[in-house]
C-alpha cells in the first residue's frame, strides 16, 4: 500500500532541507549524480555552480534531471540506533540561468555571503529545476517506527 500524501506536506519537508542529489545524463547518455546545496523559491529549486562545470554542460545538453533529498531520522534518546533516511525523489526539467541575470534576492539565497563577490557571480550560473509529475517518498508523514515496514513507509504526492 502506498501512502497518499499532500503536496504541501512534502513541500514543507523539502523546504526544511538544503542538501540533495541531482541526477543527469551526459551527452553520451551516461548517468551521473552529484550532491548539491539548493534553495527553494516559488516551488522551484535553485542550485549555484560555475558556468564551466560539468553539471552546467550536461544540463545544457539534456535538461531532464532527477533529484533525491535525503532526510536524516533519529531516535532522540538513542542516536546510535541506525534508521534509514527518509527520502523525497522526483523528476524535473532544468535550465541554466547566468548568475548575472538572476535577481539579487535569489543570488543571496543560493550563494549566501558570496553573493557580494562580483567575480564569482560573473563566473557562475544557477540551475533552476522545476519538478513535474509526482514526488515519490519514503518515511515522510509517518511515525519513525513505521519506517521499519517499507509497505507503510512508501508514499506519493502530486508535485502541482
* Segments making up each domain of the chain, as ranges: 3-158
Average pLDDT over residues 89-109: 97
Which of 137, 146, 143 has the alpha carbon at shortest distance from 90?
137
| C-alpha span between 33 and 54 (Å, rounded) | 11
**pLDDT tens digits along 27-52:** 888 999 999 999 999 999 999 999 99
Query: Taking every pair of C-alpha atoms in the chain, what is the biggest distance, in angstroms?
Result: 52
**pLDDT tens digits along 144-158:** 888 888 889 999 999
| C-alpha span between 86 and 22 (Å, rounded) | 16
CATH for 3-158, options being 3.30.200.20, 3.50.50.60, 3.90.1170.50, 2.30.110.10:
2.30.110.10
| C-alpha span between 39 and 112 (Å, rounded) | 10
68 pLDDT band (50/70/90 cuts)?
Answer: very high
| C-alpha span between 74 and 84 (Å, rounded) | 9
Least confident of 32-41, 60-69, 76-85, 117-126: 76-85
pLDDT recorded at residue 89: 98
More confident residue, 127 or 144: 127
Q: Classify each residue of 19-30 as buried b or exposed e, where b means 16 or more C-beta atoms within 10 Å of its C-beta.
A: ebebebbeeeee
Cβ proximity of 99 and 49 under 8 Å: no
**CB-based contacts of 153, cutoff 8 Å, min separation 6:** 3, 138, 139, 142, 146, 147
Residue with cell 513507509: 153
Q: Name the CA dihedral angle for 82, 75, 71, 151, rounded to a multiple of 10 degrees.
A: 80
Parallel, antiparallel or unpaired: strands 154-158 and 3-4: parallel
Amino acid at each position: 500500500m502506498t501512502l497518499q500524501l499532500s503536496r504541501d506536506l512534502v513541500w514543507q519537508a523539502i523546504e526544511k532541507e538544503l542538501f540533495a542529489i541531482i541526477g543527469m545524463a551526459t551527452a553520451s547518455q551516461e548517468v551521473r549524480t552529484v550532491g548539491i546545496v539548493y534553495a527553494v523559491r516559488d516551488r522551484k529549486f535553485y542550485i549555484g555552480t560555475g558556468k564551466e562545470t560539468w553539471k552546467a554542460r550536461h544540463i545544457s545538453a539534456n535538461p531532464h534531471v532527477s533529484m533525491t533529498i535525503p532526510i536524516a531520522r533519529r531516535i532522540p534518546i538513542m542516536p546510535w540506533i541506525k534508521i534509514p533516511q527518509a527520502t523525497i525523489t522526483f523528476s524535473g526539467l532544468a535550465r541554466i540561468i547566468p548568475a548575472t541575470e538572476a535577481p539579487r534576492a535569489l543570488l543571496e539565497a543560493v550563494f549566501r555571503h558570496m553573493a557580494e563577490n562580483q567575480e564569482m557571480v560573473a563566473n557562475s550560473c544557477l540551475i533552476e529545476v522545476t519538478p513535474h509529475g509526482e514526488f515519490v517518498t519514503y518515511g515522510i508523514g509517518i511515525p519513525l517506527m513505521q519506517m521499519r515496514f517499507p509497505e507503510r513507509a512508501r508514499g506519493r504526492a502530486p508535485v502541482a
